[in-house]
A and B are shown apart, each in its own frame.
Chain A
Amino acid sequence: MQSLSNRKKVLEQKPMNFWERIYLPAIFKGLSITIKHFFKPIPTVRYPEVERPYSKNFRGQHSLKRDEEGRERCTACGLCALSCPAEAITMISAERQKGEEHLYREEKYAAVYEINMLRCIFCGLCEEACPKEAIYLDGPHVTADYLRKDFIYGKDKLVEPRFDYKDEHEPTA
């Protein structure tokens, strides 16, 4: 059949010529290639000891942010959970009580906030959906673990630690 693309190449198997039949030239060629690689510098990064820097737009583990006064930004609106294609996020909301203003920025907050890291595909849609700039995928990659239940990250792992200077703003009880 005529080839339409003109790129068709018919390969025929020719009988090997003398040099090919005694294998040796080809073997020497192969040997020279492998020995070249033997002395090449090795590109491996020895991981636990040496870490490669993450790229700037790397999407890693989520962190729930705090505002300038150290209060949790998240208002448990559930938009992130809604936007999540993997159904990885769940939360239980609660109402802020009197005296908790220094803990939560909005009147409603997430009492429980869980992300199942085995479901998450690190698409970053939760980050995009959040109206309060409360969630960012700016952490390192999620580390390995032994049990499935340990991959469900709660607030203890997600909420970013308080900054030190926030202490001054805390109302003295």
Chain B
Amino acid sequence: MELAFVIEKVLLVSLIFVITLVIAMYSTLAERKVAGFMQDRFGPDRAGPFGILQPLCDGGKFFFKEEIIPAGAHKTLFILGPTIAIITACIGSAVIPWGQELTIGERVIELQVTDVNVGVLYMFGVVALSVYGIMLGGWASNNKFSLMGAVRAASQSISYELAMGLSLIALLMVTQSLSLKEIVVQQEGFVNWNIWVQPLGFLIFLICSFAECSRVPFDLPECETELIGGYNVEYSSMKLGLYMFAEYIHMFVSSALMATLYFGGYNFPFMNDLGLSQNWITIIGVLVFFAKIFAFIFFFMWIRWTLPRFRYDQLMNLGWKVLIPLAIANIVLTGVITVIKDTFF
């Protein structure tokens, strides 16, 4: 491995890391702004113009808060909880292809940290791991409410991971590849986007992502009315901040994943008819990709300020009795259509 390669990757990783953190930071502001506009008010706008300094103030406040570790808590696990949550949230972005390659002089730079050929599986593993952060935190707090929140988080994420996986299988039957890069390359232009062949699969995937990120309407692990805050009741100061941060990063990565899998990633319509050089296409592609991600993040927030929370039995019903059968039906349907297409056309 040559040095330049290492430097390139390190730079890319740091860049993505910084971008992820900044986006997560500003998602908190965006969330409150969106909430404000949807409720006919401004949202926070006092810290700096339009409140753009608000996330910094919030972060600063978190650092100055007293840090409390409950006497009955398991200290190691208590600290490990938010750590795992934030780490698993961050490493998810490693396999996402942010753009095509940039050519600077002789070097060709891939805008993807690593193209593992099982990228989809990797994402899945990371997402599944993230529930450990919540579980450990909730259990280690030694508090009934947080334990309940943790149990809910675990059962919810298991239930919805199933449906999510099944909906993905149908997609993989179409793409014939587990590499995210490969999947994006296949969706060149506009008509090849996977959403057109897998609308039902996308819907299921979308719903499951909401559940995986524990966003409204599936935010049962942390519902205030029943659990006074859920798995993170006992957390204070920056540990609580990390949990919240992890959640927003999660949302960002999920949005990126959905844009990648179903909405063509960095591909945009007429990308090859514009007669632009490769570098320009790449740059525009990256911007387009981020636009798609932001659209999804906005959608997450839009849903949050529209829908009420599901009841627990409704959540389980929806997961096991509706989404999983639907996902299976989707697989069968995809299989049948693929076979028909292969034999007759």
Instruction: Scan residues 293-313 of chain B and give those whose CB is less than 8 A from a CB of chain A.
Output: 302-303, 305-307
Contact flag A31-B37 (CB < 8 Å), given A42-B42, A44-B42: no
Least Cβ distance of A32 to chain B in Å? 9
Contact present for A27 and B306 (CB under 8 Å): yes
Instruction: Scan residues 16-71 of chain B and give those whose CB is less than 8 A from a CB of chain A.
Output: 34, 37-42
In the bound complex, how far is the Cα of B306 from the Cα of A170, in angstroms? 69
Stretch at the interface among A33-41, A64-72, A105-113, A156-164: A33-41
Contact present for B302 and A34 (CB under 8 Å): yes
In the bound complex, how far is the Cα of B34 from the Cα of A31, in angstroms? 13
Q: What residues on B are CB-neighbors of A33 within 8 Å?
A: 306
Contact present for B40 and A31 (CB under 8 Å): no
A30 within 8 A of B: yes
A53 within 8 A of B: no
A43 within 8 A of B: yes
Contact present for B302 and A31 (CB under 8 Å): yes
> Given A27-B307, A34-B302, 4 other A-B contacts at CB below 8 A?
A37-B38, A38-B37, A44-B40, A46-B42
Interface size class of B (residues with CB under 8 A): 10 to 19
Contact present for B303 and A31 (CB under 8 Å): yes
Q: What residues on A are CB-neighbors of B37 within 8 Å?
A: 37-39, 42
Q: Which 9 residue pairs are nearest across A and B when measured between Cβ atoms?
A: A30-B306, A34-B306, A34-B38, A38-B37, A37-B38, A38-B38, A44-B41, A31-B306, A44-B42
Contact present for B307 and A38 (CB under 8 Å): no
Q: What residues on B are CB-neighbors of A34 within 8 Å?
A: 38, 302, 305-306
20 contacts between A and B (CB under 8 A): A22-B322, A27-B303, A27-B307, A30-B306, A31-B303, A31-B306, A33-B306, A34-B302, A34-B305, A34-B306, A35-B38, A35-B302, A37-B37, A37-B39, A38-B38, A39-B37, A40-B40, A42-B37, A44-B42, A46-B42
Bitwise interface map of A from 86 to 128 toward B, beta carbon under 8 Å scored 1, else 0: 0000000000000000000000000000000000000000000
Most chain A Cβ neighbours within 10 Å, of B305, B306, B322: B306
Instruction: Scan residues 1-39 of chain A and give those whose CB is less than 8 A from a CB of chain B.
Output: 22, 27, 30-31, 33-35, 37-39
Q: What residues on A are CB-neighbors of B305 within 8 Å?
A: 34
Contact flag A38-B42 (CB < 8 Å), given A30-B306, A30-B307, A31-B303: no
In the bound complex, how far is the Cα of B41 from the Cα of A40, in angstroms? 10
Bitwise interface map of B from 224 to 242 toward A, beta carbon under 8 Å scored 1, else 0: 0000000000000000000
Bitwise interface map of B from 59 to 94 toward A, beta carbon under 8 Å scored 1, else 0: 000000000000000000000000000000000000
Q: What residues on A are CB-neighbors of B39 within 8 Å?
A: 37
Question: Which residue of chain A has its CB nearest to the CB of B314?
Answer: A23
Least Cβ distance of A42 to chain B in Å? 6
Q: What residues on B are CB-neighbors of A43 within 8 Å?
A: 40
Q: What residues on A are CB-neighbors of B40 within 8 Å?
A: 37, 40, 42-44
